[in-house]
Structure 1
Amino acid sequence: MYAISTHLVGQAVCDRIDERHKSILPPHVWGDGNPEGVNRRAAEELKRTARAAQKLGVSVVNGFTGSSIWPLLYSFPPVPDSMIDAGYREFADRWNPILDVFAECGVRFALEVHPTEIAFDIFTAERALAALGRREEFGFNFDPSHLHWQGVSSVEFIRSFPDRIYHVHIKDAIVTLNGRTGILGSHINFGDPRRGWDFRSPGRGGVDFEEIIRALNQIGYEGPLSVEWEDCGMDREHGAAEAAKFVKNLDFAPSRRQFDSAFAEEA
């Protein structure tokens, strides 16, 4: 076992809590539903997760952070910089005590960079690191599917954070804009063909996994390539088997020498 996950509880650490969260949280974290109480209990659960990971011999916990400022994504009504600054300070205030326990346990937290989180692209990922003083316990679970539909380069993300890629998801997505829907989803659920983008089984979307593997090799990533499978248009068992074969064929070890070096040795 290389990693464990705490996505759903992690979401409740920084989010502004509402009724939606009840459906994703265990009863002991939801409690009476008081928002600040949910935030605190979620934080304590994350600390327990770090201790559990240590006992399991697991070095990485993947998950979400939540975000108090995700609802401010669109700058209308106008969003002053002070509100965004306050959101990152709150993130640091809530997560530094959690990460102190991760440090004590010798475990790292890998945020899956994703819409609704404190980091959802390269700029916000950099800002999240800065808010935490770039402490080593905090890095990223790289998932190209969430970058692809936003128009963010997966390769640029890897190259921007070569020492912070703690885990990798192999997950694909496709953009199918046809002039009727927008990239924000149009309040249309996943799996509906009217959506402007959706997730696909690995290799069947628009993600350039060839260049991703090369970029991961260039930064010396040696962790797992973990399939996170999601495709509303495909049978799951078929998709799981297909995805396993895809990743096996996709992955390759990097070259340890330059092509022309053989000529120099012969000379």
Structure 2
Amino acid sequence: MKIGFLTVALGTLRLEEIVDWASSVGFEALEIAAWPLSNERDFSATTIDVNTFTKEKAKDLKVLLEKKGMIISSLAYYDNNLDVNLEKRRFVNEHLKKVIDVASWLGVELVGTFVGRDVSKNVEENIKEFEKVFKPLIGYAESKNVRLMIENCPMVGWQEPEKIGNVFYSPQIWREIFRITPDSFGLNLDPSHLYWLGIDYMKVIEEFSNRIFHVHAKDVEVKDDLLYNQGIFGYFGTNLHGKSWWEYRLPGFGEIDWSDFIRSLKKAGYDFVISIEHEDPVWSGTVEKSKKGLRMGLEFLKEFT
């Protein structure tokens, strides 16, 4: 397996700077952020601006990556593809197509996104909406030799307080969505979300092994005193960093058993990239702190990969 990271953590740096630094400290892969320059998402970045990126730039980047011994594991654009506002939904869907185009130019097989949610509808109705919206998106990706994948973050409170914002969050829903999608549509598996939701993050590897396209390395710390005070619904039903009973951490600083998790991935046949998604509030705030956190995550994961 190769170890990489999502470039959101170094979002203020140019792509060339990120490649130079990442290769110098031992990373072998990058999951490159491709949000629009202007967007409303937290934890987002525009490491590649797909609106100005060209095939010539793609050629230059491929040369740089080969020189540095690195690969791009995925392009990342996690936004609400089912937005209740149809104008916003159309924008997100069209931007996703541009990300797919750039991935195709770069020879990158994977693009990650969210399903999202139409907050005017319940989960069952959103699955029907998913089929309507994603069938053409999956087809478009296939026509470009790209596979779409969804991260399993529930995004509580994203559109409305206390509501799940990304309906692709549990095995029950994955089964239903995978039942109506081709094998080219899969999962960017993040165990941190499963842990705090009370879902067995080991069991899903065996059941969904053929749909695991990519893996996020993000840990989660449970704060027992806050869990006692708040209960599982958290800080008045919302997930605010530092206020809820759980908090995302770098690998090794939380509850995930990375040794067993990675061993199970290997047993299931997964041998691609483990990508650190750095949302650890202890090791963020400045580029240097984020770099130190990423290096710590890299050294920790090396033991198991």
**Do the structures match in fold with TM over 0.5?**
yes
Q: Which runs of 4+ in 1 moved over 2 A?
A: 83-86, 182-185, 233-238
**What secondary structure is seen at the aligned counterpart in 2 of 1:44?**
helix
**Runs of 5+ unmatched residues, structure 1:** 17-34, 73-82, 252-267
Contact 1:6–1:61 (CA<8 Å) still a contact in 2?
Answer: yes
Amino acid at match of 1:53: A
Amino acid at match of 2:88: V
**Runs of 5+ unmatched residues, structure 2:** 1-71, 155-164, 284-288
**Cα deviation 1:165-186 (Å, max 9, x = unaligned):** 0001111001223211122221
Contact 2:151–2:187 (CA<8 Å) still a contact in 1?
Answer: yes
Any residues of structure 2 matched to 1:164-243 within 5 Å, and which?
164-178=211-225, 179-186=228-235, 187=238, 189-192=240-243, 195-234=244-283, 235-243=289-297
* RMSD over equivalenced CA pairs, Å: 1.7
What is aligned with 2:144?
Answer: 105
Counterparts in 2 of 1:188 and 1:14: CA distance versus 1, 3 Å: closer
Please report how far the alpha carbon of residue 197 of structure 1 lies from its aligned counterpart in structure 2 after TM superposition. Answer: 0.7
Amino acid at match of 1:89: K
Q: Alignment identity in percent?
A: 28
Please report how far the alpha carbon of residue 88 of structure 1 lies from its aligned counterpart in structure 2 after TM superposition. Answer: 0.9
**What secondary structure is seen at the aligned counterpart in 1 of 2:105?**
helix
Amino acid at match of 1:243: G
Q: Which has the higher contact order (CA 8 A, sep 6+)?
A: 2
Please report how far the alpha carbon of residue 141 of structure 1 lies from its aligned counterpart in structure 2 after TM superposition. Answer: 0.2
What is aligned with 1:154?
Answer: 201
Counterparts in 2 of 1:102 and 1:206: CA distance versus 1, 3 Å: same
Contact 2:123–2:167 (CA<8 Å) still a contact in 1?
Answer: no
What is aligned with 1:3?
Answer: 74
Contact 1:91–1:118 (CA<8 Å) still a contact in 2?
Answer: no
Q: TM-score, normalised to structure 1's length?
A: 0.76
Mapped to 1, the partners of 2:257 and 2:182 lie a distance apart of 30
**Cα deviation 1:36-57 (Å, max 9, x = unaligned):** 1111121122122212111110
Amino acid at match of 2:104: Q
Mapped to 2, the partners of 1:84 and 1:171 lie a distance apart of 26
Any residues of structure 2 matched to 1:9-158 within 5 Å, and which?
11=80, 13-16=81-84, 35-68=85-118, 83-115=122-154, 116-130=165-179, 133-158=180-205
Mapped to 1, the partners of 2:258 and 2:98 lie a distance apart of 35
Mapped to 2, the partners of 1:239 and 1:2 lie a distance apart of 20
Mapped to 2, the partners of 1:188 and 1:111 lie a distance apart of 20
Matched, 1:249 2:280: no
Mapped to 1, the partners of 2:239 and 2:175 lie a distance apart of 31
Q: Which has the larger radius of gyration?
A: 1
Please report how far the alpha carbon of residue 188 of structure 1 lies from its aligned counterpart in structure 2 after TM superposition. Answer: 6.0
**What secondary structure is seen at the aligned counterpart in 1 of 2:213?**
strand
Amino acid at match of 1:98: L
**Cα deviation 1:228-264 (Å, max 9, x = unaligned):** 112112343331111010111121xxxxxxxxxxxxx
Counterparts in 2 of 1:228 and 1:188: CA distance versus 1, 3 Å: closer
**Cα deviation 1:141-194 (Å, max 9, x = unaligned):** 0111111111111111111111000001111001223211122221462024xx
**Cα deviation 1:9-62 (Å, max 9, x = unaligned):** xx2x1133xxxxxxxxxxxxxxxxxx2111112112212221211111000011
